[in-house]
């Protein structure tokens, strides 16, 4: 019996498994965030499909590589791949933050030329392959601990990333950048009066305990994507590339899920007593228009070369 078990074990392709080409992957979002849970399930499946051909090795979240360093790590090849958002790697190239401004689903971006243009800029300026957008339908919101009765943030200190900087600054806020991992402490210590974040995810790190109000409407669309170092891509063979494109696309094709998640998270916020400060009618329209105006002005200022074309490709004409 023991001999048999040993023989069976010896027959496993251990050496082959150890040699399977592997891409190192990190997340710029904290490990306990919902997107990461979803990513890990996907990786498990990827590795089952890719056995002997190509596998993914999840290294970790911001404890492995700090949130705002992840883009550099992918660009230079310290890691091969990452789940991140453009706002976290404006220190590689500033156009990265423009993806928050897309007004059509990524499926449409793949048809209207926007996706190809993103590929071009990401390769040229970031040494990156933009594989897939894996979060959509998640508008950003302003969350507050002090009430406001109009879109005026004078005297308020707000936690931001590049996503919100131009808009909240235009509304008069004093802004302070932190990684998601530092938001709770900033709220707890009263260092900030509020923060920007998408509709979903505030429960992942217990921010609901330190949040009184959400301001509606939301604005932009949160973008989280898979990016790959371009040199790593060049080293892959046809079958490996095919696996990578197929699997990342499968994940992207499930983005409709985020619509349900947005609804559930909205209800969950109401349940724990987070009150909604709601701008209506013309004031709401003005608020959202100002968000896009400030956002695009910021992008075009840092990228007169690509900004205007991105605006044209990312905007739905009304
Ligand atoms: O940290 C942030 O608020 C941020 O920029 C972001 C971007 C995309 C998804 C979630 C958060």
User: pLDDT 10s digit of each residue in the chain, 318 long?
Assistant: 444 444 444 455 554 455 899 999 999 999 999 999 999 999 999 999 999 999 999 999 999 999 999 999 999 999 999 999 999 999 999 999 999 999 999 999 999 999 999 999 999 999 999 999 999 999 999 999 999 999 999 999 999 999 999 999 999 999 999 999 999 999 999 999 999 999 999 999 999 999 999 999 999 999 999 999 999 999 999 999 999 999 999 999 999 999 999 999 999 999 999 999 999 999 999 999 999 999 999 999 999 999 999 999 999 987
126 lines ligand 1 (CB under 6 A): no
Cα–Cα distance measured from residue 217 to residue 286, given in angstroms and rounded to the nearest whole number:
11
pLDDT at 12: 52
- Is residue 98 within 8 Å of residue 314, measured between CB atoms? yes
Which residues are CB-contacts of 48 (< 8 A; sequence separation ≥ 6)? none
Closest CA to 86 of 265, 195, 222, 248: 222
Cα–Cα distance measured from residue 219 to residue 295, given in angstroms and rounded to the nearest whole number:
11
Residue 158: strand pairing partners? 175, 194
226 lines ligand 1 (CB under 6 A): no
Cα 309 to averaged position of ligand 1 atoms, centre (Å) = 24
Tell me which residue has its CA closest to atom 8 in ligand 1.
222
Mutate-to-test residue for ligand 1 from 67, 196, 202, 262, highest number of ligand atoms within 8 A of CB: 196
pLDDT at 5: 47
pLDDT at 271: 98
Can you read off the two tokens belonging to residue 7?
A: 């023989």
Tell me which residue has its CA closest to atom 9 in ligand 1.
222
CA distances from 215 to 62, 140, 151, 212, 261 (A): 28, 10, 9, 10, 18
pLDDT at 18: 59
pLDDT at 318: 74
H/E segment holding residue 214? strand 213-219
224 lines ligand 1 (CB under 6 A): yes
Cα 85 to averaged position of ligand 1 atoms, centre (Å) = 7
User: Which ligand 1 atom is the nearest neighbour of the CA of 223?
Assistant: 8
């Amino acid at each position: 019996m023991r001999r048999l078990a040993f023989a069976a074990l010896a027959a496993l392709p251990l050496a082959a498994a150890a040699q399977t080409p592997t891409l190192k992957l990190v997340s710029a979002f904290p490990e306990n965030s919902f997107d990461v849970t979803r990513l890990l399930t996907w990786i498990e499946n990827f590795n089952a499909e890719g056995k002997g051909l190509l596998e993914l090795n999840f290294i970790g979240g911001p404890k492995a590589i700090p949130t705002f360093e992840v883009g550099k790590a992918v660009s230079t090849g310290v890691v091969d791949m990452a789940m991140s958002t453009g706002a976290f790697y404006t220190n590689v190239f500033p156009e990265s933050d423009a993806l928050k401004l897309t007004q059509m689903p990524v499926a449409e971006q793949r048809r209207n030329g926007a996706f190809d243009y993103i590929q071009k800029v990401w390769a040229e300026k970031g040494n990156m392959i933009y594989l897939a957008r894996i979060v959509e339908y998640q508008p950003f919101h302003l969350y507050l601990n002090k009430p406001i009765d109009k879109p005026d943030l004078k005297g308020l200190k707000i936690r931001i990333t590049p996503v919100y900087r131009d808009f909240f600054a235009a509304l008069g806020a004093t802004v302070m950048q932190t990684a998601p991992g530092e938001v709770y402490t900033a709220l707890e210590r009263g260092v900030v009066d509020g923060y920007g974040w998408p509709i979903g995810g505030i429960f992942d790190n217990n921010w609901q305990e330190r949040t009184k109000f959400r301001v509606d409407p939301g604005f932009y669309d949160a973008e989280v994507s898979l990016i790959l170092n371009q040199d790593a891509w060049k080293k892959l063979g046809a079958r490996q590339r095919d696996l990578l494109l197929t699997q990342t696309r499968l994940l992207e094709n499930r983005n409709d899920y985020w619509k349900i998640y947005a609804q559930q998270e909205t209800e969950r916020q109401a349940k724990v007593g987070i009150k909604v400060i709601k701008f209506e009618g013309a004031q709401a329209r003005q608020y959202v228009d100002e968000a896009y105006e400030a956002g695009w002005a910021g992008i075009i200022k840092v990228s007169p070369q690509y900004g205007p074309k991105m605006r044209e490709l990312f905007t739905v004409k009304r």
